[in-house]
Amino acid sequence: MTRSVLITGCSSGIGHHAAHAMKARGWRVFATCRAEEDAARLREEGLESWALDLASTDSIAAGIERALEETGGTLDGLFNNGAYAQPGAIEDLPTDALRAIFEVNFFGWHELTRRVLPVMRKQGHGRILQNSSILGFVALRMRGAYNSTKFALEGYTDTLRLELDGSGIHIALIEPGPVTTKIRVNSQKHYERWIDRRGSYWGKFYETVMEPRLYAPEGGKPDPGELNCEATTKATLHFFEARRPRLHYPVTTPTWAMAIFKRTLPPRLVDRIAIRV
């Protein structure tokens, strides 16, 4: 029988690339995204797609219900991928800004996962891939909100893996470093909504260091070690298709390097390296 997978955040980047690649390999892919106009574009590209807004419990419920209706009540895979970044220093982030990003990057994933797990337990198998980040185990300045959601996701996933032992359900983390996507461009509106740089201690830093990078033209100079989405899709395919999938999938040289630094170097030295990034 055709294997099925639901992927969130497919409007562009990692989710978009993975959806097309898995469809090409014979998977039945439900490529969801927040906005209906993006879902319409994906349908034109030949994907089965509909809107699934991770900030809406009703949208999540409708999205998973539709997938199960399409398959007759089964689902082989879930790729939790949809997320966004919130630039800015922690002291400049209103609490509502943190609530908003956790709603999408963490609570929405939990809601979707809880709705999928009974299905997978009943059928006796399933695979759930969580798109974390190098920022899930190494903190960088001006990324505190995103860091926090990904650090939370790492602990959540490691715990759930223990609780799924013996169930036939595999769960793993993919941890990309710099990958060519639209996450920087998409984060601009969140920066503009929540950060008041004029009244901030960090105002000069925003103006001279962060904003030139945040608003740099697309297609400009890549970050050191940056790869395209083929690298993340390769890891994604291994997780969903390998007989014995891994627990963690570090992607890009910076991710591997920082993982080694975290294990071998004193924390203060790791801090000095992170401050220079």
The CA–CA distances, whole Å, from 220 to 34, 181, 208, 217, 223 equal 27, 12, 18, 6, 9
Phi/psi for 138 (5° steps) reads -130, 125
Whose tokens are 């830093």? That residue is 205
251 has which bridge partners?
176
Please state, in angstroms and rounded to a whole number, the distance separating the CA atoms of residues 215 and 193: 15
146 tagged catalytic: yes
E strands in 47-147: 77-80, 126-131
Buried b (16+ CB within 10 A) or exposed e, 218-251: eeeeeeeeebebebbbebbeebbeeeebeebbbb
| Both structure tokens of 31 | 């490529």
The answer to whether the CB of 97 falls within 8 A of the CB of 194 is yes
CA-based nearest residue to 4, from 27, 33, 31: 27
Cα 39 to Cα 4, 10, 46, 102, 130: the distances in Å are 18, 8, 11, 23, 21
Measured CA distances, 46 to 10, 19, 41, 49, 81 (Å): 13, 10, 9, 9, 20
Catalytic residue (choose from 84, 146, 191, 249): 146
Active site amino acids: 146
